[in-house]
Amino acid sequence: MFGLFKKKVDCKSCGTGNEASASFCKKCGAPLIDKQVQHTSPTPSVDNTIKNSRAMIVKDIFSIAGRGTVVTGFSENTLSINMTFLNKRTQKQYKAKAIEVFRKIVQAVEKGKACGLLFEEATRADFEEGDELIIM
């Protein structure tokens, strides 16, 4: 009965109705949250001395059509958007275009948090579970 009153958010790109808690459109993958509203928590400071240290071990990988590839895991350092990461197995580098923590897009994530990193230029095939990402 209460399901009838769930809030929906329409995608500005394709018009598809999405759950209010979603960050990205389920049909086209476009962000659903305005950039001014995205930053719901204070941005942790990023320590530049963490270069060449481990960012995360990849737990899961999925693709969003038209957006890129998301790798998930637990941050092993403070991570922020526009950081460059090296996949130690493939030796390829990727720049994070977005970070999501519990369905919220954030500028940075503190050490020890579950998160997803969006890489626009990556494909699902570029990653495997257990890959080690290094901060460049």
- Same domain? For 26 and 62 the reply is no
CATH number at residue 87: 2.40.30.10
- Same domain? For 87 and 131 the reply is yes
* CA proximity to 32, closest of 22, 42, 40, 41: 22
- Same domain? For 85 and 125 the reply is yes
- Same domain? For 82 and 22 the reply is no
Indicate the residue type of 136. Answer: M
- Same domain? For 90 and 114 the reply is yes
Please give the angle made by the CA atoms of 80, 105 and 123, to the nearest 5 degrees: 75
- Same domain? For 93 and 120 the reply is yes
pTM of the model: 0.65
Predicted local distance difference test score (pLDDT) of residue 51: 75
pLDDT one digit per residue (tens) for the chain, 136 residues:
344 445 677 887 788 888 777 777 777 777 776 543 444 445 555 555 567 899 999 999 999 888 899 999 999 999 999 899 999 999 999 999 999 998 899 999 999 999 999 999 999 999 999 999 999 8
- Same domain? For 8 and 65 the reply is no
- Same domain? For 23 and 82 the reply is no
Residue 122 resides in a domain? yes
Residue 127 has a CB neighbour count (10 Å cut-off) of: 23
**What domain range is 25 assigned to?**
2-32
Residue 24 has a CB neighbour count (10 Å cut-off) of: 21
Residue 42 resides in a domain? no
With contact defined as beta carbons under 8 Å apart, do 92 and 64 qualify?
no
- Same domain? For 60 and 104 the reply is yes
Predicted local distance difference test score (pLDDT) of residue 36: 38
